[in-house]
Amino acid sequence: MDATMPTATTLRPPLRIGRHTIQSPVVLAPMAGITNRAFRRLCREYGDTGRAAGGATSLYVSEMITSRALLERTTESMRLIEHDPAEDPRSIQLYGVDPATVAAAVRMLVTEDRADHIDLNFGCPVPKVTRKGGGAALPWKRDLFRGIVAAAVREATPYAVPVTVKMRVGIDADHITYLEAGQAAEQEGAAAVALHARTASQAYSGAADWSRIARLKEAVRTIPVLGNGDIWSAEDAVDMVRQTGCDGVVVGRGCLGRPWLFTDLAAAFAGSPVRVRPGLREVTDTMRRHAAYLVEFYGDELKGCRDIRKHIAWYLKGFPAGSTVRHRLALVDSLAALDELVDSMDLSAPWPGDAAEGQRGRAGSPRVVALPERWLQSRHLDAAQREVVAEAELSVSGG
């Protein structure tokens, strides 16, 4: 990549979330099983490259951690809240369905100085979460949503730790919640709101409706509004900001197997056309570094290599790699084996262009959202639903 960027007008001012100023208005979306400390480190390195060349670093959020598991200090939840010394601000996403439990988890994080920013998950569409009233199902219950946001803000504010909210458009096309939820979050003291412009029933299928982000920006006036959905390139991010007026973007699946997207995003928001177009040698070097970071994260070479397996197809998208090599890479069990397989490839292959662009990760298909019984009959919890919600965090893994 040419590190010389021409002087240009930035597309957006720095993103301010509470006391934090993020020069490049880009957030790494929390993704389960993906945005652990190892992956955040890799993305941050590329984001910092963009900063050195005229851009800025972004905000890198942990994968979702359940409040209950955190309070129980499970081994996995404590691993997931670890940060590298260079991570600033330290950002953690919490999942919770009970205001008291969320408040206690936030209190733990801030009093023990484990986080500088906390994001609340109201966007997860996974059935095991929504069928207990959590994630994208929760904003339908107005008082519960407000209670959780208010409780988190109350505990975090004395420590100057901003709380943000990430949500979806609604449960399905007939049960839309985002405008009301965005305004409620603003009123309860959230520092920013982020909207994935799909409903829970869409999961990751179809196209994100960016017009919803524009409407949310019009409705929420005093805090930043961030847009999420279908950002596969820096150009997509620029288009979203121009079309919706949002204050920044949240990038998820677009950076899978492509952490250098954060260099591109920093450049784009600095007004530069410079982009990273790595050949296969650079891509496999990045993949190898990612694997090494995972081994360090787990403290176990086999676990780290098992984790890198799911990233390999994303890294190699569009590149000429035979099916035999791809299959063997998907079974790699050591760094030495990874090195041997990489060395067997033709690493002189250049960036494949359009073949490497576009959607990454599974899109799935629309579905009926799993919900607690009679969930949609009222915007308030009844007694039976309160029992379901009270047990919800116990049934979601500590990750």
pLDDT tens for residues 149-159?
999 999 999 99
- 338 Cβ neighbours under 8 A, 6+ residues apart: 287, 288, 291, 305, 308, 329, 332
- Report whether 91 contacts 164 (CB < 8 A): no
Ramachandran quadrant class, 101 (left: phi over 0; alpha: psi -120 to 50; beta: rest): alpha
The answer to whether position 77 is within a domain reads yes
Do 262 and 285 have their domain in common? no
Share of the chain above pLDDT 70, in %: 94
- On average, the pLDDT of the chain sits at 92
* Span 281-301, average pLDDT: 97
- Are 262 and 46 in contact, with CB atoms under 8 Å apart? yes
163 domain residue, yes or no: yes
Which pLDDT value is given to residue 11? 83
Number of domains present in the structure of the chain: 2
Query: Does residue 245 surpass a pLDDT of 70?
Result: yes
Q: Looking at the predicted structure, is the pLDDT value of residue 10 above 80?
A: no
Tell whether 332 and 245 lie within a shared domain. no
Q: 325 and 206 in one domain?
A: no
Please tell me whether residues 237 and 311 are part of one structural domain. no
Catalytically active residues are 124
* Neighbouring-strand partners of residue 194: 166, 226
Tell whether 368 is covered by a domain.
no
Do 109 and 258 belong together in one domain? yes
Q: What are phi and psi of 21, to 5 degrees?
A: -115, 120
For residues 168 and 109, membership in a common domain is answered with yes
For position 301, which CATH number holds? 1.10.1200
Through-space distance between the first and last CA atoms of the chain, rounded to whole angstroms: 36
Asked if 201 and 295 sit in the same domain, the reply is no
For residue 105, being part of any structural domain is answered with: yes
Same domain, 165 and 270: yes
User: 239 and 340 share a domain?
Assistant: no
Same domain, 223 and 325: no
Q: Which of 334, 351, 368 is the last residue of a domain?
A: 351
Using an 8 Å Cβ cutoff, are 345 and 280 in contact? yes
**Burial class, 32, CB count within 10 angstroms (exposed 0-12 / middle 13-18 / buried 19+):** middle
Whole-prediction pTM: 0.92
- Those residues whose C-beta lies under 8 Å from the C-beta of residue 365, and which sit 6 or more positions away, are 203, 205
| Average pLDDT value for residue range 264-285 | 94
Q: Which residue has the tokens 């021409």?
A: 6
What is the Cα–Cα distance from 109 to 163, expressed in whole angstroms? 12
Same domain, 181 and 255: yes
Residue 242 buriedness (CB in 10 A; 0-12 / 13-18 / 19+)? exposed
Placement of tokens 């496999």 in the chain = 284
3-state DSSP assignment of residue 192: strand
In this structure, the answer to whether residues 259 and 284 fall within a common structural domain is: no
Q: Answer whether residue 377 is part of any domain.
A: no
Domain extent, residue 226, equals 16-276
Nearest to 263 by CA among 300, 88, 255: 255
Nearest in space to 32 (alpha carbons), one of 60, 59, 65, 81: 65
DSSP letters for 252-306 = -GGGTT-TTHHHHHHHHHTT--------HHHHHHHHHHHHHHHHHHHT-HHHHHH
Q: Considering the domain boundaries, does residue 9 fall inside one?
A: no
Measuring CA to CA, how many Å separate 285 from each of 222, 280, 350?
43, 8, 14
Among 335, 351, 367, give the residue marking a domain's end.
351
Q: Would you say residue 375 lies in a domain?
A: no
Domain boundary among 242, 258, 276: 276
Give the domain CATH number at 104: 3.20.20.70
The residues, any chain, with a CB within 8 Å of residue 112's CB and separated by 6 or more, are: none
Of all residues in the chain, what percent carry a pLDDT higher than 90?
83
User: Cα(34)–Cα(148) distance, rounded to whole angstroms?
Assistant: 26
| Other residues' Cβ atoms within 10 Å of the Cβ of residue 360 | 18
Is 78 inside any structural domain?
yes
Cβ atoms of residues 236 and 357 within 8 Å: no
pLDDT digits (tens, 9 = 90+) for 111-147: 999 999 999 999 999 999 999 999 999 999 999 999 9
